[in-house]
Amino acid sequence: MSSTSLLKDKVILIVDDEPDVLESIAEQLDMCRVHKAQDYYSAIQFLASYTYDIVILDIMGVNGFELLKNSVARNFPTVMLTAHALSPESLKKSIKLGAVSFLPKEKMSELDSFLEDVVLGGGKSVWQKLFDKLGSYFSRQFGPDWKERDEFFKAFEKELKFEKKL
């Protein structure tokens, strides 16, 4: 199955304050119907006016966590995409607020693969797949024991292993 067939005609909202990021993602997702917002207020209007298969939110510059709350309240599978807020704290907050995935902008060239996981997951959390793919990346960025230093991540990892067994 190619990612084109899985993402073809999906309606996706991308919110980022950097025009070049918006254009780059839109080009990469040319098989989708893409809406782009460069600020919080435009994004809120899009979220209120349309139904999305996937919402992709930057964290910094667009009030991404507030948009995440709004998107999740509308039951839109939401992926956080960030460069400057790449930290265990932002990852934890994204999980707690209901994001289905969290991607570093550095991995943007692989975005369609990660979005394919979201589509295959039926809009549900794909954290286990994300950690399988990016676990070593996160360990390089956050330190090798980043999950062990935080009770939230220790419990979350146990929950993911339990779900995997089911």
> Per-residue pLDDT tens for 99-125?
999 999 999 999 999 999 999 887 777
pLDDT per residue as tens digits for the range 118-161: 998 877 778 988 998 999 999 999 999 998 899 999 899 888 87
pTM of the predicted structure, to 2 decimals: 0.92
| Top CATH class, 3-125 | alpha beta
For the chain, what are the domain ranges?
Answer: 3-125
d(CA 21, CA 33): 17
Reduced to 3 states, what is the DSSP secondary structure of residue 54? Answer: strand
CA distances from residue 127 to 61, 83, 94 in whole angstroms, order as listed: 25, 19, 11
Facing residues of 11 across strands? 33
